Amino acid sequence: MRFILSILLCTLAVNSFAQNFSGGVILGISTTQVGGDNLGGFNKAGLLTGVFVNKSISSLLSLQMEMTYIQKGSNNPNMNNSEHPNFGIQDISSSYTEIPLLIHYQQSEVIKIEGGILTGILIDAYYKDNLGKINYGNTPPFIKYDFGLLLGINYKYSEKISLNTRLSNSIIAIGTEDYTATQSYNSSRKGKYNSVLSFAIHYNL
């Protein structure tokens, strides 16, 4: 009898705990730049897609974890313009699997302010000039991870759909050459950092 009662209590506890969770899918675009590459502006557009799960911890606060695929980098529209100061500067194309961890603050019935950290695992990254992708052989030009901070706003459009705008930035340099003796953190050059302004739809399942 005690065993059966224990099973029932555990079942009720698990169901109650699970009911506090919700989740869904993410689909959007990323507009990006790379600080420190001598180019400016969020001129690189890419895909942002993934899933999320969140849990309310109070009437005003909730936690959210995501797993996303995101394309980053920089774009030089004047690479072939010999009269422009950016002539010859190479593009950067990269893609990551990211795991953002966020806390949401319920500003109003439809607005949430969010902030958090992210860890990115590099899938692919390369420089590109006017002839195409540059092959560096066995020496990858970018490190395997991207760690960053993010801040955003979430607008509840309907019971199922939220519109999300988010700004994130790397907190460590992303280029392998940024860690050489001549270009370390002690030098005047501080390295390259991903900056992302994203726009996404969050669909609650």
Query: With 50 as the cut, is the pLDDT of residue 4 above it?
Result: no
* Residue 165 Cα distances to 20, 30, 61, 115, 146, angstroms: 25, 10, 18, 12, 20
Pairwise CA distance, residues 9 & 61, whole Å: 27
> CA 57, CA 54: separation in Å to the nearest integer?
10
Specify if 84 maps to a domain: yes
Q: What is the pLDDT of residue 83?
A: 73
Asked if residue 12 belongs to a domain, the reply is no
| Range in 3-7, 36-40, 135-139 with the lowest mean pLDDT | 3-7
Quick check: is 10 in a domain? no
For the stretch 162-191, pLDDT in tens is: 999 999 999 999 998 888 754 443 344 578
Task: Pick the closest to residue 192 from 32, 83, 47, 50 (CA basis).
Answer: 32
Confidence band for 136, pLDDT divided at 50, 70 and 90 = confident
CB 192, CB 176: distance < 8 Å: no
Q: Domain containing 46: what range?
A: 21-204
In a domain, 78, yes or no: yes
Q: Give per-residue pLDDT as tens, 73-122.
A: 998 888 877 777 787 788 999 999 999 999 999 999 999 999 999 999 99
Residue 16 domain flag: no
Q: What mean pLDDT comes out for the span 10-26?
A: 63
In a domain, 1, yes or no: no
At 39, which CATH number?
2.40.160.20
Residue at 2 is within a domain: no
Tell me what pLDDT residue 184 has.
Answer: 40
The answer to whether residue 167 is domain-embedded is yes
Domain count, the chain: 1
Q: What is the pLDDT of residue 193?
A: 95
pLDDT at 38 over 60: yes
Q: Please state the pTM of the whole predicted model.
A: 0.84
Enter the tokens of residue 60.
């005003």
